[in-house]
Amino acid sequence: MTSAVSELPKRMPTHAVESLVCSLWGAYFGRPVDPDDDFFDLGGDSLAVLDIVLAARGHGLELRASQALRHSTPARLAEAVTMPSPGPAAPRRLLALVGAALDGDASSADGSATSADANGTTADANGTPADGSSTPTAPGGGNTRSPLFVIHSDSHRTAEQEALLRWELGRPVHGLRLPGLDGTVTDGPGIVRAARGVAEAVRERQPDGPVSIAGFGLGAVFACEAAHALQEAGRQVGLLALVSPALPGTAAPDRRALLAERVALLGARFGLEDGDGPGELLRQAHASGWFGDVASGAELVRMQAAWVELTAAVAGHRLGAVAAPALLAVDSARLAPAEEAWRPALASVEVCPLDHGLRSPAGALRDPRLAEALRGGCGA
């Protein structure tokens, strides 16, 4: 094994555990292993599990044979090990900083006067503004087909853009940043206003013809409301695609409880300790492939406060009805609550069960079923 593997920190980030498991499995089976490869498909059995568990413990990973048997891909196993339920408490410093940002104290988002801790090293990937204007993700070349407008999630905009390019959908794709990341969307009427801004941006980019619109995560709610606004204005919506969508119309959660849950999950995923600040949050997030378009730790702290407001607003929001053909793509384990939340607003819906089994939004982006479903929807 490499020295990087042997020097894993005491509280391992999910991505580090995933890399370690891929390395251990690869050494055992004598071939490269990807995060979504299945242990049993590789030829693993109960005897192989015992050898791999011993090897993992030799690298400081507390792993049980029952975990390795139950979670049969490196990605699933890494989440199970680092993000148990119930999980560890939220890292205290980050909890205080995000809480202060939620209370409107933007100046405290860096946590100290030390800019090196507050700021990261990565510039914004494409500078898409938060006002609903769009940035081409997949140029159309000479293709005359109408574009697909995509409202990205809060955490994986860069990864979603890369996936859309990789999938080669055969049409232009325009990405729109998730509204409300500046903390301005805090209730249902705010969702509707922001979605109308998205609809206006779509009309400017595509003045006529049927509109195709998709949303990832929280972006699915704004995609649905934008489709509703477009239909109310007399435009035909040819496709509404909802990918791993947030669940609207449920009981609105307490914001403080939601804050603690969010910071605890990020702390567990990124291996953060009580004393870690925004800089370490940003570094581990980027290493994990999360928040790739966020330039500083202070910005990332403020985004978590905005996420709390957005999530609470979505949970208490009742969707406007959409008559367009809809595609609901969600992991099988979360399919039942997703259908319960979304079907009342959709006149016609095709369900695409995914099978990645992950809490991370990245799972859907690696699931070939999603690319196939979007190609089918885009070709309709």
Express each pLDDT in 44-86 by its tens digit: 999 999 999 999 999 999 999 999 999 999 999 999 999 988 8
User: How confident is the model over 34-45, as a mean pLDDT?
Assistant: 97
User: How confident is the model over 375-380, as a mean pLDDT?
Assistant: 58
Q: Specify the pLDDT at position 87.
A: 84
- Alpha helices per DSSP H over 59-146: 65-70, 74-82, 92-102, 115-118
Query: Which has the minimum average pLDDT: 108-112, 189-193, 261-265?
Result: 108-112
User: How confident is the model over 341-349, as a mean pLDDT?
Assistant: 97
Q: Domain map of the chain by residue range?
A: 3-82, 96-380
- Flag whether pLDDT at 135 surpasses 70: no
Q: Specify the pLDDT at position 19.
A: 98
Confidence band of 234 (pLDDT split at 50, 70, 90): very high
Q: Specify the pLDDT at position 144.
A: 65
Long-range contacts of 368-373, Cβ-Cβ distance < 8 Å, separation of 24 or more: 369/329, 370/243, 370/329, 371/163, 371/166, 371/167, 373/241, 373/327, 373/329
User: How confident is the model over 104-133, as a mean pLDDT?
Assistant: 46
- pTM, rounded to two decimals: 0.89
Q: Specify the pLDDT at position 71.
A: 97
Query: Which has the minimum average pLDDT: 52-66, 125-139, 155-169, 281-295?
Result: 125-139
Query: Which has the minimum average pLDDT: 11-25, 32-46, 110-124?
Result: 110-124
Q: Are 378 and 350 in contact (CB under 8 A)?
A: no
- Flag whether pLDDT at 283 surpasses 80: yes
Q: Specify the pLDDT at position 106.
A: 64
Domain 3-82 has CATH 1.10.1200.10: yes
Confidence band of 96 (pLDDT split at 50, 70, 90): very high
Residue 182: which of 194, 199, 198, 174 has the closest Cα? 194
β-pairing verdict for 211-216 and 322-331: unpaired
- Flag whether pLDDT at 3 surpasses 80: no
- Flag whether pLDDT at 202 surpasses 50: yes
Residue 137: which of 108, 110, 157, 118 has the closest Cα? 157
**Sign of the Cα pseudo-torsion (83, 89, 93, 99, in order):** positive
- 141 versus 137: the higher-pLDDT residue is 137
Percent of the chain at pLDDT > 90 equals 82
- Flag whether pLDDT at 121 surpasses 60: no
- The CA R_g of the chain, rounded to the nearest whole Å, is 21
Q: Specify the pLDDT at position 136.
A: 63
> In whole angstroms, what is the distance from residue 46 CA to residue 308 CA?
42
> In whole angstroms, what is the distance from residue 369 CA to residue 365 CA?
9
Containing H/E element for 194?
A: helix 188-205
Q: Specify the pLDDT at position 376.
A: 82
> In whole angstroms, what is the distance from residue 72 CA to residue 170 CA?
34
Average pLDDT score over the chain? 89
> In whole angstroms, what is the distance from residue 106 CA to residue 87 CA?
28
96-380 fold: Rossmann fold (3.40.50)
Confidence band of 1 (pLDDT split at 50, 70, 90): very low
- Flag whether pLDDT at 311 surpasses 50: yes
> In whole angstroms, what is the distance from residue 264 CA to residue 106 CA?
21
Residue 343: which of 359, 360, 362, 330 has the closest Cα? 330
How do residues 238-271 score in pLDDT, each as one tens digit?
999 999 999 999 887 899 999 999 999 999 999 9
Query: Which has the minimum average pLDDT: 123-132, 150-159, 230-239, 369-378?
Result: 123-132
Site of tokens 């709610």 = 221
Q: Specify the pLDDT at position 138.
A: 59
